[in-house]
Amino acid sequence: MNVERYLMDKIRKEKVHLTLIDPAKQEPLKAGEIAEKIEDSGSDGIMIGGSTNITNKIMDETILKIKERSSLPVMIFPSGISSISRHADAIFFMSMLNSSSREFLIDHQVMASRAIKIMNIEPISMAYLVVEPGMTVGKVGKAILIKRDDMDSAVSYALAAQYFGFHFVYLEAGSGAPEPVPESMVKAVKNEIGIPLIVGGGIRDPEKAMKLAEAGADVIVTGTLVERSDNYDEIIRKIVNSIKNVKY
Protein backbone atom coordinates (compact mmCIF):
# COMPACT_ATOMS: atom_id res chain seq x y z
CA MET A 1 0.00 0.00 0.00
CA ASN A 2 1.19 3.51 -0.78
CA VAL A 3 0.19 5.28 2.42
CA GLU A 4 0.65 8.84 1.21
CA ARG A 5 -1.62 8.17 -1.76
CA TYR A 6 -4.15 6.55 0.59
CA LEU A 7 -4.11 9.67 2.80
CA MET A 8 -4.28 12.10 -0.12
CA ASP A 9 -7.17 10.26 -1.77
CA LYS A 10 -9.09 10.43 1.48
CA ILE A 11 -8.20 14.07 2.17
CA ARG A 12 -9.59 15.06 -1.24
CA LYS A 13 -12.94 13.58 -0.25
CA GLU A 14 -13.29 14.04 3.48
CA LYS A 15 -11.66 14.85 6.80
CA VAL A 16 -9.30 12.20 8.10
CA HIS A 17 -8.82 10.86 11.62
CA LEU A 18 -5.60 9.24 12.78
CA THR A 19 -5.11 7.50 16.10
CA LEU A 20 -1.76 7.85 17.82
CA ILE A 21 -0.67 4.85 19.86
CA ASP A 22 2.32 5.35 22.15
CA PRO A 23 4.02 1.93 22.33
CA ALA A 24 5.55 2.77 25.71
CA LYS A 25 2.13 3.22 27.31
CA GLN A 26 0.74 -0.34 27.09
CA GLU A 27 1.69 -3.92 26.32
CA PRO A 28 1.78 -4.87 22.62
CA LEU A 29 -1.24 -7.14 23.09
CA LYS A 30 -3.31 -4.23 24.36
CA ALA A 31 -2.11 -2.04 21.48
CA GLY A 32 -3.46 -4.71 19.12
CA GLU A 33 -6.82 -4.59 20.86
CA ILE A 34 -6.88 -0.78 20.62
CA ALA A 35 -6.09 -0.96 16.90
CA GLU A 36 -8.96 -3.34 16.24
CA LYS A 37 -11.42 -1.19 18.18
CA ILE A 38 -10.45 2.13 16.65
CA GLU A 39 -10.62 0.65 13.16
CA ASP A 40 -14.13 -0.43 14.00
CA SER A 41 -14.84 3.13 15.18
CA GLY A 42 -13.92 4.50 11.77
CA SER A 43 -10.42 5.88 12.38
CA ASP A 44 -8.45 6.02 9.13
CA GLY A 45 -4.97 5.06 10.24
CA ILE A 46 -2.57 4.46 13.09
CA MET A 47 0.39 6.61 14.02
CA ILE A 48 2.82 4.93 16.34
CA GLY A 49 5.36 6.72 18.46
CA GLY A 50 6.12 8.61 21.64
CA SER A 51 8.62 11.05 23.09
CA THR A 52 10.14 8.84 25.80
CA ASN A 53 11.12 5.20 26.45
CA ILE A 54 10.91 4.14 22.81
CA THR A 55 13.08 1.25 21.62
CA ASN A 56 13.21 -0.59 18.29
CA LYS A 57 12.12 -3.74 20.11
CA ILE A 58 9.01 -2.19 21.61
CA MET A 59 8.15 -0.62 18.23
CA ASP A 60 8.56 -3.96 16.41
CA GLU A 61 6.52 -5.94 18.92
CA THR A 62 3.75 -3.37 19.11
CA ILE A 63 3.41 -2.95 15.35
CA LEU A 64 3.31 -6.71 14.82
CA LYS A 65 0.45 -7.05 17.30
CA ILE A 66 -1.38 -4.12 15.69
CA LYS A 67 -0.97 -5.75 12.28
CA GLU A 68 -2.50 -8.99 13.58
CA ARG A 69 -5.70 -7.20 14.55
CA SER A 70 -6.12 -4.33 12.10
CA SER A 71 -5.73 -3.63 8.41
CA LEU A 72 -5.25 0.12 8.87
CA PRO A 73 -1.97 1.62 7.64
CA VAL A 74 0.63 2.01 10.39
CA MET A 75 2.76 5.15 10.21
CA ILE A 76 5.73 5.71 12.46
CA PHE A 77 5.62 9.04 14.27
CA PRO A 78 9.29 9.11 15.19
CA SER A 79 11.20 10.65 18.05
CA GLY A 80 14.56 9.38 16.83
CA ILE A 81 16.33 6.43 15.30
CA SER A 82 14.99 4.06 17.98
CA SER A 83 11.49 4.57 16.52
CA ILE A 84 12.29 2.79 13.27
CA SER A 85 10.63 -0.53 12.58
CA ARG A 86 10.65 -2.56 9.38
CA HIS A 87 7.09 -3.69 10.15
CA ALA A 88 5.54 -0.26 9.65
CA ASP A 89 3.94 0.74 6.35
CA ALA A 90 5.32 4.28 6.40
CA ILE A 91 7.20 6.81 8.48
CA PHE A 92 6.47 10.49 8.82
CA PHE A 93 9.85 11.78 7.74
CA MET A 94 9.59 14.96 9.71
CA SER A 95 11.60 17.93 10.83
CA MET A 96 10.62 20.00 13.85
CA LEU A 97 11.09 23.33 12.13
CA ASN A 98 10.86 25.34 15.33
CA SER A 99 13.39 23.29 17.27
CA SER A 100 16.38 25.20 18.58
CA SER A 101 18.49 22.07 18.10
CA ARG A 102 19.79 20.77 14.81
CA GLU A 103 19.29 17.30 16.24
CA PHE A 104 15.54 17.55 15.62
CA LEU A 105 15.85 19.63 12.49
CA ILE A 106 18.14 17.32 10.55
CA ASP A 107 20.56 15.14 12.56
CA HIS A 108 18.17 12.31 13.49
CA GLN A 109 16.85 12.32 9.94
CA VAL A 110 20.34 11.95 8.47
CA MET A 111 21.06 9.07 10.85
CA ALA A 112 17.81 7.34 9.87
CA SER A 113 17.63 7.84 6.13
CA ARG A 114 19.65 4.83 4.96
CA ALA A 115 17.94 2.46 7.38
CA ILE A 116 14.58 3.65 6.08
CA LYS A 117 15.67 2.93 2.53
CA ILE A 118 17.11 -0.50 3.33
CA MET A 119 13.98 -1.49 5.28
CA ASN A 120 11.80 -0.21 2.46
CA ILE A 121 9.62 1.94 4.73
CA GLU A 122 7.68 4.61 2.82
CA PRO A 123 8.79 8.08 3.92
CA ILE A 124 6.10 10.78 4.09
CA SER A 125 7.56 14.24 4.29
CA MET A 126 6.15 16.40 7.06
CA ALA A 127 6.98 19.69 8.73
CA TYR A 128 6.31 19.55 12.45
CA LEU A 129 5.45 22.77 14.29
CA VAL A 130 5.05 22.80 18.06
CA VAL A 131 2.68 25.35 19.54
CA GLU A 132 2.29 26.29 23.23
CA PRO A 133 2.10 24.52 25.63
CA GLY A 134 4.09 21.91 23.66
CA MET A 135 4.14 19.45 26.56
CA THR A 136 6.83 16.72 26.54
CA VAL A 137 7.57 16.91 22.84
CA GLY A 138 8.22 20.64 23.15
CA LYS A 139 10.74 20.06 25.93
CA VAL A 140 12.42 16.99 24.47
CA GLY A 141 12.57 18.62 21.04
CA LYS A 142 13.91 21.90 22.47
CA ALA A 143 11.19 23.76 20.62
CA ILE A 144 11.01 27.53 20.42
CA LEU A 145 7.29 27.24 20.99
CA ILE A 146 4.93 29.16 18.71
CA LYS A 147 2.78 31.32 20.99
CA ARG A 148 -0.93 30.59 20.91
CA ASP A 149 -1.75 34.12 19.73
CA ASP A 150 1.12 34.39 17.26
CA MET A 151 -0.68 33.71 13.99
CA ASP A 152 2.08 35.42 12.04
CA SER A 153 4.73 32.95 13.17
CA ALA A 154 2.48 29.95 12.60
CA VAL A 155 1.66 31.09 9.07
CA SER A 156 5.29 31.97 8.29
CA TYR A 157 6.57 28.59 9.47
CA ALA A 158 3.86 26.74 7.53
CA LEU A 159 4.57 28.68 4.34
CA ALA A 160 8.30 28.08 4.75
CA ALA A 161 7.48 24.38 5.08
CA GLN A 162 5.50 24.44 1.85
CA TYR A 163 8.25 26.31 -0.01
CA PHE A 164 10.79 23.75 1.19
CA GLY A 165 8.61 21.09 -0.43
CA PHE A 166 7.24 19.33 2.65
CA HIS A 167 4.07 17.42 1.78
CA PHE A 168 2.24 17.94 5.09
CA VAL A 169 2.27 20.48 7.93
CA TYR A 170 1.50 19.32 11.47
CA LEU A 171 0.36 21.87 14.07
CA GLU A 172 1.01 20.22 17.43
CA ALA A 173 -0.06 21.47 20.86
CA GLY A 174 1.65 18.49 22.52
CA SER A 175 0.23 15.19 23.61
CA GLY A 176 -1.99 15.65 26.67
CA ALA A 177 -2.21 19.44 26.19
CA PRO A 178 -5.09 21.00 28.17
CA GLU A 179 -6.30 22.77 25.01
CA PRO A 180 -5.66 22.05 21.33
CA VAL A 181 -4.10 24.57 18.95
CA PRO A 182 -6.54 27.54 18.66
CA GLU A 183 -9.06 27.32 15.82
CA SER A 184 -8.05 30.83 14.74
CA MET A 185 -4.49 29.58 14.19
CA VAL A 186 -5.70 26.59 12.17
CA LYS A 187 -7.80 28.94 10.05
CA ALA A 188 -4.97 31.43 9.54
CA VAL A 189 -2.54 28.70 8.46
CA LYS A 190 -5.03 26.87 6.25
CA ASN A 191 -5.90 30.12 4.45
CA GLU A 192 -2.30 30.59 3.39
CA ILE A 193 -0.98 27.14 2.52
CA GLY A 194 -1.76 24.71 -0.25
CA ILE A 195 -0.59 21.50 1.44
CA PRO A 196 -2.63 19.38 3.84
CA LEU A 197 -2.78 20.44 7.47
CA ILE A 198 -2.64 17.95 10.33
CA VAL A 199 -3.72 19.09 13.81
CA GLY A 200 -3.14 17.23 17.07
CA GLY A 201 -2.61 17.55 20.79
CA GLY A 202 -5.32 17.96 23.41
CA ILE A 203 -8.27 16.93 21.21
CA ARG A 204 -10.59 14.82 23.34
CA ASP A 205 -14.16 15.53 22.31
CA PRO A 206 -16.23 15.57 19.10
CA GLU A 207 -17.18 19.26 19.36
CA LYS A 208 -13.56 20.41 19.49
CA ALA A 209 -12.57 18.05 16.69
CA MET A 210 -15.40 19.36 14.53
CA LYS A 211 -14.47 23.00 15.16
CA LEU A 212 -10.85 22.33 14.20
CA ALA A 213 -11.99 20.50 11.07
CA GLU A 214 -14.27 23.44 10.21
CA ALA A 215 -11.36 25.80 10.75
CA GLY A 216 -9.42 23.90 8.11
CA ALA A 217 -7.67 20.89 9.62
CA ASP A 218 -7.53 18.14 7.00
CA VAL A 219 -6.40 15.51 9.48
CA ILE A 220 -7.27 15.28 13.17
CA VAL A 221 -4.99 13.24 15.44
CA THR A 222 -6.01 11.91 18.83
CA GLY A 223 -3.75 9.95 21.14
CA THR A 224 -4.12 10.19 24.90
CA LEU A 225 -7.81 9.49 24.97
CA VAL A 226 -7.26 5.80 24.22
CA GLU A 227 -5.10 5.66 27.34
CA ARG A 228 -7.46 7.64 29.58
CA SER A 229 -10.98 6.44 28.78
CA ASP A 230 -12.44 2.96 28.97
CA ASN A 231 -15.00 3.85 26.31
CA TYR A 232 -12.43 5.34 23.94
CA ASP A 233 -13.91 3.43 21.01
CA GLU A 234 -17.24 5.24 21.46
CA ILE A 235 -15.54 8.62 21.80
CA ILE A 236 -13.45 8.01 18.68
CA ARG A 237 -16.56 6.93 16.78
CA LYS A 238 -18.21 10.24 17.74
CA ILE A 239 -15.11 12.23 16.81
CA VAL A 240 -14.87 10.48 13.45
CA ASN A 241 -18.56 11.08 12.74
CA SER A 242 -18.31 14.73 13.74
CA ILE A 243 -15.42 15.48 11.38
CA LYS A 244 -16.63 13.35 8.47
CA ASN A 245 -19.75 15.51 8.35
CA VAL A 246 -17.71 18.67 7.87
CA LYS A 247 -17.87 19.78 4.27
CA TYR A 248 -15.38 21.99 2.49
200 lies in the binding site for ligand 1GP (CB under 6 A)? yes
- For the chain, the residue count is 248
Of 60-68, 91-99, 148-156, 219-227, the window that binds ligand 1GP (rule: CB under 6 A) is 219-227
Instruction: List all residues 6 or more positions away from 147 whose beta carbon is below 8 Å from its beta carbon.
Output: 131, 132, 153
73 lies in the binding site for ligand 1GP (CB under 6 A)? no
42 lies in the binding site for ligand 1GP (CB under 6 A)? no
3-state secondary structure of 148: coil
The residues that bridge with 124 in the sheet, in sequence order, are 92
In 3D space, the residue among 173, 85, 195, 75 whose CA is nearest the CA of residue 124 turns out to be: 75
- Minimum distance, C-beta of residue 33 to ligand 1GP, in the bound complex (Å): 18
Tell me which residue has its CB nearest to ligand 1GP: 200
Of 83-91, 104-112, 144-152, 201-209, the window that binds ligand 1GP (rule: CB under 6 A) is 201-209
Of residues 12 and 147, the one with the C-beta less far from ligand 1GP: 147
Taking the C-alpha atoms of residue 241 and residue 141, their distance in angstroms, rounded to an integer, is 33
222 lies in the binding site for ligand 1GP (CB under 6 A)? yes
20 lies in the binding site for ligand 1GP (CB under 6 A)? yes
Instruction: List all residues 6 or more positions away from 141 whose beta carbon is below 8 Å from its beta carbon.
Output: 51, 96, 99, 101, 104, 130
Distances (CA, A) of 88 to 76, 84, 122, 233: 7, 8, 9, 23
Distances (CA, A) of 230 to 199, 225, 236: 24, 9, 12
Of residues 163 and 198, the one with the C-beta less far from ligand 1GP: 198
Map the footprint of ligand 1GP across residues 130-189, applying CB under 6 A: 172, 175-177
| Choice from 74, 145, 146, 221 touching ligand 1GP (CB under 6 A) | 221
Q: For binding to ligand 1GP (CB under 6 A), which residues are involved? A: 20, 172, 175-177, 200-203, 221-224
